[in-house]
Amino acid sequence: MTSISATRSPARDLTALTVSLALCFAVAGLGGYWTAQGLGPWYEGLRRPSWTPPNWVFGPVWTALYVSMALAAWLVWRRQGFFEARFPLGLFGLQLALNLAWSGVFFALRRPGLAFGEILLLWATILATLLAFGRVSRVAGWLLAPYLAWVTFAVALNLAIWRLNG
């Protein structure tokens, strides 16, 4: 495992952390926009399982998860640099894209069945990213564990909503 600490500077580290956070929160912002399109009469009209969290829970949980994801990606970059870590960081980018796509499919397109298939792919990609990050930095891998747990819950919730409304 190659370390790039010899070329590291605090300003460069801070810039990279800022970019990582900005990327994650750009995805959060667009996903939130698509989510808002589906909230209201459509979402309220769906039959949902009794264990569905109240809407106010999602914002704080996702905020914490996006911060954790950004820190994990930054730690991998910091340990190996972009070129050396291109595979795990590529997986990270893919899971971010799939994360965003789920919001679009479920809320903007209002397709819970299609969203269920998409979230299964997202879940597998998060697991692959967690494992790849863990090989570079144990802390980075562990930082993705709550995200995987939350998306595991979201898989079950998505399936239940699809089945209840199919």
CATH class of 7-48+58-165: mainly alpha
Q: How far apart are CA 45 and CA 43, in angstroms?
A: 5
- Report the alpha-carbon distance of residue 123 to residue 98 in Å, rounded: 9
Burial 115-128 (b: 16+ CB within 10 A, else e): bbebbeebbebbbb
pTM greater than 0.95 (yes/no): no
CB 150 within 8 A of CB 65: yes
pLDDT by residue, tens only, the chain of 166 residues = 445 554 678 988 899 999 999 999 999 999 999 999 888 999 999 999 999 999 999 999 999 999 999 999 999 999 998 899 999 999 999 999 999 999 999 999 999 999 999 999 999 999 999 999 999 999 999 999 999 999 999 999 999 999 999 8
Q: Which alpha helices (DSSP H) does 85-111 contain, by range?
A: 86-103
Q: How far is CA 73 from CA 77, 107, 134, 155, in A?
A: 6, 27, 11, 23
Q: How far apart are CA 8 and CA 15, in angstroms?
A: 11
